[in-house]
Amino acid sequence: MRIGIGLPNPVPDTPGVRLVEWARRAEDRGFAALATIDRVVFPSYDSLTALAVAAGATSRIGLTTNILLAPVYQPLLLAKTAASLDQLSGGRLTLGLGVGGRPDDFAAVGRDPGTRGRDFDAGLDLMHRAWRGEPVAGGEEAVCPIPVNDRRVPILVGGTSDAAIRRTVEWGAGWTIGGAPPEQAAPLAERIRTAWRDAGRDGEPRLAALTYFALGPDAEADSWAYLRRYYGFTGEYAERIASGARRTEAAVADAVRAFSDAGFTELYFDPATADLDQVDRLADVVAP
């Protein structure tokens, strides 16, 4: 199982230079990929901008949005930005995409949350056509560079609905789930594998999971404050998310074993604090 680490792009008051330091340290310590979390109405760094800067500061580590709220983006601009980052990074980008669920994110960009599923489906079709070089903007020219990997940017579809499973099989390189414990994620992963085989897709799907972490006595209070704030819109559920963060080395190691046993192919540890020592603390437990 590949182990990735999140960038602290959503952690409030993180200085921008920290993302560069974090990316370089993560690559040096052997992590397979860097990941971002996406929101509009929150003082976070934009996911694709953060990954572009990380790409320029590194040479090998993967770059993943886990996840990006696809329906809040104009699909052709998203296709162009993603294809550009894919080429500029030498094919290191994976787009984790989901429909999102916060009305304020959609209101902020003038989009209708009630049509987000249909918009996502239409956007997936349009982005893949653009990546193949089709002239989809009403003229004769393509709109973006051709991605490195098989004329497409690899996509991990987020979500637990039947529609998410359908999108995974139709468009995805695999599937991703955020914040769920392994015992809850495992049956969903098996549904993905079954649907993949039933659809006649070759090989096996990538199966990714996200879990939060904060290691060391100085990180605990900050991690609770951040996660309660970030997920405050969920009400009481925010407390469950905050309490589920891995705050000991043993808990981190348990997560690796449990998700591996559940058949996941990649696991991303997202930081709940932006202290740079978190990269080393995590690597000391999970790095090969």
Q: What is the pLDDT of residue 99?
A: 96
The predicted structure's pLDDT at residue 179 = 85
DSSP per position, the chain: -EEEEE--TTSTT--HHHHHHHHHHHHHTT-SEEEE---SSSSPPPHHHHHHHHHHH-SS-EEEEEEEEGGGS-HHHHHHHHHHHHHHTTS-EEEEEE----HHHHHHTT--GGGHHHHHHHHHHHHHHHHTT---SSSSS-SSPPPTTTTS--EEEE-SSHHHHHHHHHH-SEEEEES--HHHHHHHHHHHHHHHHHTT-SS--EEEEEEEE--STTTHHHHHHHHHHHTGGGTTHHHHHHHTSB-SHHHHHHHHHHHHHTT-SEEEEEESS--THHHHHHHHHH--
What pLDDT sits at residue 201? 97
Mean pLDDT across the chain = 97
Task: Please give the tally of structural domains in the chain.
Answer: 1
| CATH number, domain with residue 208 | 3.20.20.30
pLDDT at 163 over 80: yes
pLDDT recorded at residue 138: 87
Q: pLDDT (tens digit, 9 = 90+) per residue, 195-228?
A: 999 999 999 999 999 999 999 999 999 999 999 9
User: Domain range for residue 11?
Assistant: 2-286
Task: Note the pLDDT tens digit of each residue in 10-66.
Answer: 999 999 999 999 999 999 999 999 999 999 999 999 999 999 999 999 999 999 999
pLDDT digits (tens, 9 = 90+) for 148-160: 999 999 999 999 9
Condensed to tens digits (0 to 9), the pLDDT of residues 273-283 reads 999 999 999 99
User: What pTM was estimated for this model as a whole?
Assistant: 0.96
What is the mean predicted confidence (pLDDT) over 83-94? 98
pLDDT at position 253 is 98
